[in-house]
């Protein structure tokens, strides 16, 4: 953990917290998911490790990029560092349109949809099923790139079955 500075908390889920962090050596910004290992059941621990393995095994423009993982012994946290998506998530984007009482332009909807399908195709080509597609797990860059994330409950199909 001494290689990173926590800048702020991005969110909290059932399995842990996500922070915006800066790597001290080069100043690069990342997202870091911290999972409290002691608070997890055996199945939840498997899910956390599964997410790290899957993220580390794939590289695609429409999937959140994996950088590194480590165990923070002082707090019993499994930490994994991922690409930071500076545009937030699709849920936040939709909510911003709702607050303005406007609709998302159809062109923008299609842009997001096509990129989500490309990310899913990459996963499916590797026999990985995401199993938790929702707006809060679709991340955006400020340039408009869509990245699927939070592969915590994803599964690899063995013999074509889950």
At 9-68, the pLDDT tens digits run 998 877 689 999 999 999 999 999 998 888 778 887 777 777 788 888 899 999 999 999
CA angle centred on 95, ends 62 and 89, rounded to 5°: 20
Residues of the chain above pLDDT 90, percent:
64
**Has 26 been annotated as catalytic?**
no
pLDDT at 76 over 80: yes
Burial, 155: exposed, middle or buried (Cβ in 10 Å; 0-12, 13-18, 19+)? middle
Burial, 107: exposed, middle or buried (Cβ in 10 Å; 0-12, 13-18, 19+)? exposed
The whole model's pTM is what? 0.87
Q: Are 31 and 150 in contact (CB under 8 A)?
A: no
d(CA 105, CA 69): 38
- Among candidate residues 28, 46, 86, 132, the one labeled active-site is 132
d(CA 148, CA 31): 14
pLDDT at 92 over 80: yes
Residues of the chain above pLDDT 70, percent:
98
């Amino acid at each position: 953990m001494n290689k990173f500075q926590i800048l702020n908390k991005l969110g909290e889920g059932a399995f842990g917290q996500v922070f915006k962090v800066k790597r001290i050596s080069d100043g690069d910004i990342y997202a870091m998911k911290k999972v409290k290992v002691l608070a997890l059941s055996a199945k939840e621990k498997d899910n956390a490790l599964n997410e790290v393995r899957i993220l580390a095994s794939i590289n695609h423009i429409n999937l959140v990029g994996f950088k590194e993982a480590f165990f923070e012994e002082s707090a019993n946290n499994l930490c994994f560092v991922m690409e930071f998506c500076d545009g937030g998530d699709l849920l936040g984007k939709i909510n911003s349109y709702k607050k303005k009482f406007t609709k998302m332009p159809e062109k923008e909807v299609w842009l997001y949809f096509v990129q989500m399908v490309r990310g899913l195709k990459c996963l499916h080509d590797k026999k990985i099923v995401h199993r938790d597609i929702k707006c809060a797990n679709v991340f955006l860059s400020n340039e408009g790139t869509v990245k699927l994330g939070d592969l915590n409950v994803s599964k690899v199909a063995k013999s074509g079955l889950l």
